[in-house]
Amino acid sequence: MLKGKSAIVTGSTSGIGLGIATALAGQGVSVMLSGFGDQAEIEKTRGRLAAEAGVKVLYDNADMADGAAVAAHVKKAEDAFGGVDILVNNAGIQFVSAVDEFPEAKWHAIQNIILNSSFHAIKAALPGMKRKNWGRIINLVSAHGLVASPFKSAYVSAKHGQIGLTKSVALEVAETEITVNAICPGYVRTPLVEGQIDDQAKAHNLPRDRVIREVILASQPNKRFIEVEEVAALALFLCGEMAKSITGTAIAIDGGWTAR
């Protein structure tokens, strides 16, 4: 059903974004990647994905903090693929601080890269989806779009905002064949999180297994990481025909975190 369609997945050079891009490509979807990283490694990833899936895979180093650059990113994908059928807003950054000490530049950067880039990408991609009367928009949010944690005011605010954006746009296009949903993972096993485990182990002088259980997954009742493939599988389902009536939702995949 997805073969021959095209997608943008922002923040897709590693982690969850790359996992979703890989899953989409495996279903015959051409994909536009974006994100940080070593350019040689990114090109190697792009080439491998294209060769393995037999689809067109492109990379664009668009600045997700710049609304005009995000719109240009969408236009580049539309020109290359003849349109954009699937948009996955996954780009994000994090910074932790007490709110009264939070650097204003960091606050604005988090809003720009998470919330504002989602708005600009949706605004740019939606007209083409309306012309085709088909589209799938998925905002990769977080459990922090549903609940809060201290010292993460900017991230939590941006993620709550993404859920509001998801619901509003879903209502606007409810009578079309375009769906808009949010996926809200708990802690996912990614290279970034693996590095955090090592850092916390050194900081607390604890073995890795205790850091995972008592520090990283303290809020996650099932005490195991969500795997990237689980999130990608949910994204694929939301893109499929059997999910055509699922829209305006924020779906938690968090090991029970938000059930408390």
Place of tokens 């369609």: 5
E-strand stretches of 112-233: 135-140, 178-185, 188-189, 226-227
Distance between CA 33 and CA 88 in Å, rounded?
Answer: 10
Catalytic residue among 155, 187, 225, 257: 155
3-class secondary-structure state, position 1: coil
**Nearest residue to 91 (alpha-carbon basis) of 14, 170, 163:** 14
Distance between CA 132 and CA 84 in Å, rounded?
Answer: 10
Average pLDDT of the chain to the nearest whole number: 96
Place of tokens 């490509």: 25
Amino acid 201: pLDDT: 87
| CATH 3.40.50.720 domain locations along the chain | 6-186+227-252
Amino acid 200: pLDDT: 84
User: Above 90 in pLDDT, residue 161?
Assistant: yes
Question: Considering the entire predicted model, what is its pTM?
Answer: 0.96
Task: Provide CB contacts within 8 A for 51, sequence distance 6+.
Answer: none
What is the mean predicted confidence (pLDDT) over 12-33? 98
Distance between CA 119 and CA 130 in Å, rounded?
Answer: 16
> Is 187 noted as a catalytic residue in this protein?
no
What is the mean predicted confidence (pLDDT) over 246-256? 98
User: Above 90 in pLDDT, residue 3?
Assistant: yes
User: Above 90 in pLDDT, residue 176?
Assistant: yes
**What is the CATH code of the structural domain delimited by 6-186+227-252?**
3.40.50.720
User: Above 90 in pLDDT, residue 179?
Assistant: yes
Confidence band (pLDDT; 50, 70, 90) for 196? Answer: confident
